[in-house]
Amino acid sequence: MQSQWKKRLTAGLVAMGLTASLAACASGNPLDNGGSVNLGTVTIGSQGFAESDILAQLYGQVLAANGYTVKYSPSIGSRETFIPALQDGSISMIPDYAGNLLYGADPKATATSTTDVMEALPAALDPLGLKIASAAQAEDADALVVTKAFADANNLVSIGDLAPIAKTITIGANTEFEGRPYGREGLDKVYGVKGWTFKAIDDYGGPGTLSDLLNNTIQVADIYTTTPSIKANNLVVLEDPKNLIAAQNIVPLFNAKVYSVAIANIVNMVSNKLTTADLMSLNEISSGDSKPSPEKVAKDWLTQMGLL
């Protein structure tokens, strides 16, 4: 599926240079771009789940505080939708996840560590006319998760422990999971997990996925590591000692025509401070009883970090 959107987008695009470094904030005034910065409107998209909405607000509010007019386009959906939206100018930027972004742009990519993924992204994104700012420390990676009861009954600790029972299990995940490097082919090649049934549940490890897991409709779920339901339901994240699943650091993805050193310096201020623990905490606050808006969750954190 990822190769399809790549083919659709590469035709007619002009190659542009790409600069991306991990958590490296430039010094000085973030609006100083040699006096040539032209502040304007930035439309920030999100992917249709709470964490993405919060991330959009984190970056958007800091941009607004530093002179940009910011609009939001929430709940766009998967890369098959938001990549074209970036290219046609419907949105200017969207927070994404480094590993899955790489695999979407280059289905043949094999990088898994943060360093390798960030080094591979420039060549993959350049033909698409896309640019990224620095990656955040914060990471929200895919994880294969089971209930504690199922783990105990089958002596499951790591992904490889699924191999003996693979033909009896159903894995629930987003539609694109099967075709990703850590999907059907990767599970077989790296851990010998093969013959399992797949159920597509397109809610990014959300309520539908959780319900199916707790009801034993599926026995293994792809749920992101910062999802509050993991802790709340005492779920077991299967260990990945062979690094099958790629690093998923948060990375601001731009339409190249919008990207500038000035705008990158501003969003990097957020990325430099945002940790995985912060992201998990923000998700927990968002899903709490008071159900604060993504705007409030982001504003409170940014204020605490001294960014507003």
Q: Of residues 307 and 79, which shows the higher confidence score?
A: 307
High-pLDDT (> 90) share of the chain, %: 73
Q: Is the dihedral of CA 290, 295, 296, 302 positive or negative?
A: positive
CATH code where residue 252 lies: 3.40.190.10
Last residue of a domain, one of 197, 213, 237: 237
| The total number of structural domains that make up the chain | 2
pLDDT of 39 above 90 = no
Instruction: Tell me whether residue 206 is in a domain.
Output: yes
In the 3-class helix/strand/coil scheme, how is the chain assigned residue by residue?
CHHHHHHHHHCCCCCCCCCCCECCCCCCCCCCCCCCCCCCEEEEECCCCHHHHHHHHHHHHHHHHCCCEEEEECCCCCHHHHHHHHHCCCCCEEEEEHHHHHHHHCCCCCCCCHHHHHHHHHHHHHHHCEEECCECCCECCCCEEECHHHHHHHCCCEHHHHHHHHHHCEEEECHHHHHCCCCHHHHHHHHCCCCCEEEECCCCCCHHHHHHHHCCCCCEEECCCCCHHHHHCCCEECECCCCCCCCCEEEEEEECCCCCHHHHHHHHHHHHHCCHHHHHHHHHHHCCCCCCCHHHHHHHHHHHCCCC
What pLDDT is stored for residue 122 in this prediction? 87
Examine the domain organization and report whether 125 and 163 are in the same domain.
no
Instruction: Tell me whether residue 24 is in a domain.
Output: no
Examine the domain organization and report whether 129 and 253 are in the same domain.
yes
- 297: alpha, beta or left, given left = phi > 0 and alpha = psi -120 to 50? alpha
- Tens-digit pLDDT profile for residues 170-201: 999 999 899 888 999 999 999 999 999 999 99
- pLDDT band per the 50, 70, 90 thresholds, residue 8: very low
Instruction: Report how far residue 252's alpha carbon sits from residue 111's, in angstroms, rounded to the nearest whole number.
Output: 19
pLDDT of 15 above 60 = no
What pLDDT is stored for residue 77 in this prediction? 87
What pLDDT is stored for residue 179 in this prediction? 87
Instruction: Tell me whether residue 283 is in a domain.
Output: yes
Least confident residue range of 12-26, 56-70, 269-283: 12-26
Least confident residue range of 28-32, 156-160, 285-289, 294-298: 28-32
Phi first, then psi: give them for residue 172, nearest 5 degrees: -105, 130
Q: Of residues 172 and 26, which shows the higher confidence score?
A: 172
Instruction: Report how far residue 58's alpha carbon sits from residue 46's, in angstroms, rounded to the nearest whole number.
Output: 12
Examine the domain organization and report whether 149 and 278 are in the same domain.
no
What pLDDT is stored for residue 110 in this prediction? 87
Examine the domain organization and report whether 284 and 199 are in the same domain.
no
Domain that holds residue 275: 2-12+39-139+247-304
**Can you tell me the mean pLDDT for 215-236?**
94
pLDDT of 265 above 90 = yes
pLDDT of 267 above 60 = yes
Instruction: Report how far residue 230's alpha carbon sits from residue 225's, in angstroms, rounded to the nearest whole number.
Output: 8
Average pLDDT, the chain: 88
- pLDDT band per the 50, 70, 90 thresholds, residue 289: confident
Last residue of a domain, one of 185, 218, 237: 237
- pLDDT band per the 50, 70, 90 thresholds, residue 278: very high
**Can you tell me the mean pLDDT for 141-162?**
97
Examine the domain organization and report whether 129 and 258 are in the same domain.
yes
Phi first, then psi: give them for residue 6, nearest 5 degrees: -65, -45
